[in-house]
Every structure is written in structure tokens, then in C-alpha cells.
Amino acid sequence: MVRLLIFASVLSCATVPAALAEQYWIAYEGNDFPENEGWTREYGDEHGPDHGGAVRCIEDGCLVTDSMYNPLVYDYSAMYRPISPDPGELFVVRWRLNVEQVTQYGDPAVAVFSDDGWGVAFTFWPTHVESAYEDATVSPLTLGEFHRFDLRSWDMRSYELRMDDQLVWSGVFRYIYTSEEVAWGDSTQGASSVVRWDYFRFGVVPEPPTALMLVGLTVAALARRQAWKERGFHMRTTASALLFVLA
């Protein structure tokens, strides 16, 4: 039976320290394994947690994960911390990935859980992207190509999702037991994939118009980073702590 692990069972064993809400930005740029930059690696196979895991490498500034050898492998990166915005702030998640191969079930996934237990998760299938908790197709997907995603929410109840700078879905969070968590990676036991993760970034920023100015600065920085990548250089940023798993 296919089992989608989008961050819940593992979290029940985690202890998250209380913290005041604050603006923050955490960026993983594909220059090292995520667990070396503050993320928690969760992996396993049919023998249980901490067994197997995907074949991984860092290549051309991307984290490459390959679980084609065993469909019962899962392997994702997670971070636990308060994440929700205060009034006047915007919660943002941005990631860029290339799903090179995936079996019929959505294997790579991204999930977000608010401070009070509301969640949203996206799974990547051979032909489309799904909102797992809404049971809805949100966008077509082309395998073998990089795609950029941008998730924005003011209240952690509703959100907008952009793909390659186009608004593709306006959806809602669902109440899930898990809270204070962000996770991404190979999430499904019963499916396999090969994925290149170029970057994964999230945080709380001032709402527009200030946030729009920050978005513009980020776009400019990304363009410069891409130019550096093409010349063989890689930017490196630090990340602090967090997680990913739903039963």
C-alpha cells in the first residue's frame, strides 16, 4: 500500500521550544547536504527509520536524490520551529526543482504546518502537481525541466501558489495534528523518483509593499546567483533548524 509521509508521525516525538514570532529567512542553496546546514534528515525503508535512504549527491549546485532502486525508500529534510506570520507580515516558501523521474505516485513533496496545526502539502506526479490535503490538481508538470514555486500566505489558512511566476492555485490549509514544521524531499513509501533540488527557502517578511521590494531584491540576487553558477561558482548561505513527515 502506498504510504505518503508528509510530516506527522515523527513530529509527535519532537520537542519544539517556545519562541516569540519574528521575521526570519532560512535559505538552503544546494551547496551541501541539508543536514549540514541545520535541517534534520529523515529517511528509512521497509526495515524502518534510519535504514536505506536515497542515493544522494551534490551536483552543479543542486541536491540530487535518487530512490529508484527501492520504492519503499523515503528521504526528506525537515525543520521544526515557529513559522507563522504576525499581522502585517507574509509567510513565503520558495523552491526550485527538476523532477527527472517519478513513478505513478507523487513521490517528491513539500509540506508546511503552521504554529497551530494547519497544513498544506504538494506532491509531484509524472504529469502534474497536487495539493495533497485538498485532493486537488493545482498545475501541469513537465518532467526533466526545472520549475520555480512560490507559496504565500498571510494567515496560514489560505494561500496562493505560483509556478514559474504564474499564479496556478489559490487554496486553503487543512487542520492537521502536526505543527511548527516545514519539510521537503522524497516522501512516499511505494513510489520512487530522481529529483534535483536547486534551492529551498522560507521565512516571514513584511507584507507588501515592503515585501514586494524584498521580492525584487531576491529576484535580482537569484539572477546573479545563476550567472555565478554558470561560471562554476556557488553561493552559500546558512540555515537554522526544522522537519517533514505525515502518516
For the chain, the structural domain boundaries read 3-230
pLDDT computed for residue 207 by the predictor: 83
Give the pTM. 0.79
Its sign, for the CA torsion 166, 132, 76, 239, is: positive
Note the pLDDT tens digit of each residue in 14-52.
Answer: 334 334 457 999 999 999 999 999 999 999 999 999 999
Give the domain 3-230 fold: Jelly Rolls (2.60.120)
Residue 176 or 221, more confident? 176
- Average pLDDT, whole number, for the chain? 83
DSSP letters of 146-202?
Answer: EEEEEEEESSSSEEEEEETTEEEEEEE-EE-S--SEEEEEE-EET--EEEEEEEEEE
CA 8 – CA 119 distance, rounded (Å): 10
Indicate the pLDDT class of residue 62, thresholds 50, 70 and 90. very high
Note the pLDDT tens digit of each residue in 104-114.
Answer: 888 999 999 99
**34 exposed, middle or buried (CB, 10 Å; 0-12, 13-18, 19+)?**
buried
Q: Average pLDDT of 65-73?
A: 96
